[in-house]
Structure 1
Amino acid sequence: MLIRTEAPADILAVDALLKTVFDTDAEADLVMKLRENGHRSLSLVACNDDGEVVGYLLFSPVTVDGNDDNWQGLAPMAVRPDYQRQGVGLALLEEAKSILAELGYPVVVVLGHSDYYPKSGFVRASKHGLQCAWPVPDEAFMVLELVPGTLACRQGKVAYSPEFSA
């Protein structure tokens, strides 16, 4: 399994993957809009031994009470069904955590499955005084601190890039 930064040649494969994994085209459309508007901070692909894209994740900027502190939101993340439950998603997350920290992104938030993301270190955001801008279940909105001490400096409402509200 090779994990690398998404390249322009991956766009169609990523689009097909997202349309396969999710029930609607919303995630695929979101990724296209984030790319087009320059709101993609980092995106990684996981490729099998044949070079096929079998996993993907994307990070984009978020703000807390309107403040831009280089925090990132993870969305979407997808693994091809025949590669799920094999550690592909967790491997993508581990690689991303390392890269994001090196790039100076101190915190990541995610709105997702509360039984999955804690495996990679995410905790309920509400424990750190953070709320999602949308009405979501408390256990589904999580945060991961990449630079120790960062979460002690900021509390409030987390807002994603405008493309998420479209």
Structure 2
Amino acid sequence: MLIRTEAPADILAVDRLLKSAFDTEAEANLVMKLRENGRRSLSLVASTDEGEVVGYLLFSPVTLNGEDFNWQGLAPLAVKEEFRGQGIAAQLIEEGFASLFELGYPACVVLGDPAYYSRFGFVSAEQHNMHCKWEVPAGAFQVKTLAEDEFSGRSGLVEYSSEFDTL
């Protein structure tokens, strides 16, 4: 399995993957809008030795109380159904964190299953007095620091870019 930065030649394969991995086309449409509007900070693909794209991960900017601290939101994350359970999503996430850190992005947020994302160091945003604008189950909105003390003295509303409002 090769984890690499998404290339322009991957766009159609990623679109097909997202449409097959989710119940609706909302995530695929979101990714297209984020690309078109220049809101994609980092996107990674997982491909087989034959070059088939079987996994995808995107990071896009988020703000805290309207201020840009270079934080990133992880969404979406998808793995082709027949390749699930092989650790591909975990590889994408770990490679993504390493790349974000190297690029100088100090924190990441995610809206997802706490049992899954806590394995990667995410904690409930509530622990840092942070929240998102959507009503979500307790613990589902989570944060992770990539740089030491990034959350020190910070709290409030974390907002994704406006493209997420259409989900």
| TM norm structure 1 | 0.98
Q: Give the structure 1 partner of residue 14 of structure 2.
A: 14
Give the CA deviation at 1:153.
3.4
Q: Give the structure 2 partner of residue 130 of structure 1.
A: 130
Q: Give the structure 2 partner of residue 143 of structure 1.
A: 143
Q: Give the structure 2 partner of residue 160 of structure 1.
A: 160
Residue 113 of structure 2: SS of its match in structure 1? coil
**1:15-47 deviation per Cα after TM superposition (whole angstroms, max 9, x unaligned):** 000000000000000000000000000000000
The one-letter amino acid paired with 1:157 is L
**1:52-75 deviation per Cα after TM superposition (whole angstroms, max 9, x unaligned):** 001000000000110100000011
C-alpha separation in 2, matches of 1:90 and 1:161: 25
Residue 86 of structure 1: SS of its match in structure 2? coil
The one-letter amino acid paired with 2:36 is E
The one-letter amino acid paired with 1:118 is S
Q: Give the structure 2 partner of residue 44 of structure 1.
A: 44
Q: Give the structure 2 partner of residue 54 of structure 1.
A: 54
Listed as ranges, the gaps of 5+ residues in structure 1 are: none
Q: Give the structure 1 partner of residue 77 of structure 2.
A: 77
Runs of 4+ in structure 1 deviating by more than 6 angstroms, as ranges, are none
Give the CA deviation at 1:50.
1.3
C-alpha separation in 2, matches of 1:47 and 1:5: 11
Residue 154 of structure 1: SS of its match in structure 2? coil
| TM norm structure 2 | 0.97
Listed as ranges, the gaps of 5+ residues in structure 2 are: none
C-alpha separation in 2, matches of 1:23 and 1:68: 32
Is 1:30 matched up with 2:48? no
Q: Give the structure 2 partner of residue 86 of structure 1.
A: 86
Give the number of aligned pairs: 166
Q: Give the structure 1 partner of residue 107 of structure 2.
A: 107
